[in-house]
Amino acid sequence: MRFENVQSDVTVVGGGLSGVSAAVAAARLGKKVALIQNRPVLGGNSSSEMRVWVVGATGHGVNRYARETGVLGEMFVENQYTNPEGNPYYWDLIVLEKVRHEPNIQLFLNTDVHEVEAEGDELNRHIKSVTGWMMGSERKIRFESPVFLDCTGDGLIGFLAGAKYQIGREAKHEFNEAWAPDVSDNITLGSTLLFYTKDAGRPVKFVPPSFTKDITQTPIPIKRVLNSGDSGCHYWWIEWGGAEDIDTLHDNERIRDELWSVIYGIWDYIKNSGKFEAETMTLEWVGSMPGKREYRRFKGDYVLNQNDLERQTQFEDNVTYGGWSIDLHPPEGMYAADYTSRHYHSDGIYQIPYRSLYSFNVNNLLFAGRNISATHIAFGSSRVMGTCASVGQAAGTAAALCVENKATRGRFMRSI
Ligand SMILES: Cc1cc2nc3c(=O)[nH]c(=O)nc-3n(C[C@H](O)[C@H](O)[C@H](O)COP(=O)(O)OP(=O)(O)OC[C@H]3O[C@@H](n4cnc5c(N)ncnc54)[C@H](O)[C@@H]3O)c2cc1C
């Protein structure tokens, strides 16, 4: 095993679209950035490993003139030019090239950060370093910098540093949100695996594995739309793990097994029930890492909530915009018999304040992505990747300015 030390201005942990945008933004402001991603591919849920398509402020076409520009906008344009067919592997290349193009970024793929060195009392913590293990290389690497960004989705870095956070749904009285339950609980959105199909051009059979679920014993064939040629995000509803007795993080393996049993059950139903024209269809790809929708949300100086989205609150420290609907799913996920998802569309785009992008109690920690300081209801909208990426660009810019000004997280002070 090799031990190494890396010194940077900004350390970004997590190479999803929020981490990539944050790293590029900080690097373009002249800061040395370490971008650490625990998987071999960048892009997080948008990568070919997960294949979730990127949406953002445009919403479901409701805000049709709204669209992310900045780092994500550059990647969108590149994607339109090089990848009009939407090949997931070509998208991986676009994200990788965006990072490789920045000489100030040192990229560490396959590096899983799981140690954090932090000090200070509960309300004033300070991160000194984070340490990761690079798989396949037997390198243990310690990253030091004045400012850290947690773009891991699940929020492991902030958790290990002692940052305050919330999991689950807030009670109505906390933020006076119309959609919040009367009593707070642990309910989250669940996780999902997707699959791709293709036409083999000749009849092909499907022999289901032993763990295949008989979906005719579930509400799926009645409540959901099944088509033999559909792939990817058409099946966003193959979701499970959000109920109170399951933890989307610690029960990740159990959730994957349940999702696999249903994917093969759906495919068995499509191929072998005789109800579909699927003789020549085959499975081209099946996901193996559950795409997680929700876990920790850190506490910043401000908690974005449903009222801000509905009323389109104007923030003095506005740094970016969201516009996707508040999009929440039932805790039973794919087994829900009543509704599949609930949407609330604001009257246009809404603002996201800088105070939601830094920890109120860890003085050099910023965050971007699905773990920002928002209630469960507001997260229902801010979690989409277009918004995560623009939040990432804002947080990366802020991190660079903090280093420049020798500030820690650059706490926002209201002007008087
Ligand atoms: C099935 C599904 C469907 C969805 N549908 C849509 C949709 O249609 N459109 C849309 O825009 N959004 C959609 N979302 C939401 C969106 O994908 C997520 O909210 C978004 O990806 C969050 O971005 P992120 O950067 O915070 O996290 P991620 O995209 O998960 O990226 C975080 C990255 O950090 C890495 N990482 C984690 N821990 C560590 C560590 N300790 N060390 C190093 N690296 C680490 C992970 O490997 C990952 O690549 C969906 C989500 C799911 C699961």
Q: What separation, in Å, do the N-terminal and C-terminal C-alpha atoms of the chain show?
A: 55
What are the backbone dihedrals phi and psi of residue 112, each rounded to the nearest 5 degrees, phi first? -95, 115
pTM of the full structure? 0.97
Which atom of ligand 1 has the smallest separation from the CA of 45? 29
> Ligand 1 centre and the CA of 385: distance in Å?
8
What are the backbone dihedrals phi and psi of residue 369, each rounded to the nearest 5 degrees, phi first? 110, -150
List the structure tokens of 268. 């068995």
pLDDT in tens, 317-370: 999 999 999 999 999 999 998 877 899 998 899 999 999 999 999 999 999 999
pLDDT at 416: 45
Is the CB of residue 153 below 6 angstroms from any atom belonging to ligand 1?
yes
pLDDT at 228: 87
* Position 97 pLDDT exceeds 50: yes
Is the CB of residue 384 below 6 angstroms from any atom belonging to ligand 1?
yes
373: which residues sit within 8 A by CB, 6+ positions away? 297, 298, 299, 300, 301, 302, 303, 304, 355, 356, 357, 367
Q: Are 411 and 301 in contact (CB under 8 A)?
A: yes
Q: What is the mean pLDDT of the chain?
A: 95
CA 264 to chain centre: 25
Which atom of ligand 1 has the smallest separation from the CA of 293? 53
Q: What is the mean pLDDT of residues 40-65?
A: 94
Is the CB of residue 385 below 6 angstroms from any atom belonging to ligand 1?
yes
Q: What is the mean pLDDT of residues 290-318?
A: 97
- Model confidence at 119, in pLDDT bands (50, 70, 90)? very high
> Ligand 1 centre and the CA of 52: distance in Å?
9
Amino acid, res. 303 = V
pLDDT in tens, 289-298: 999 999 999 9
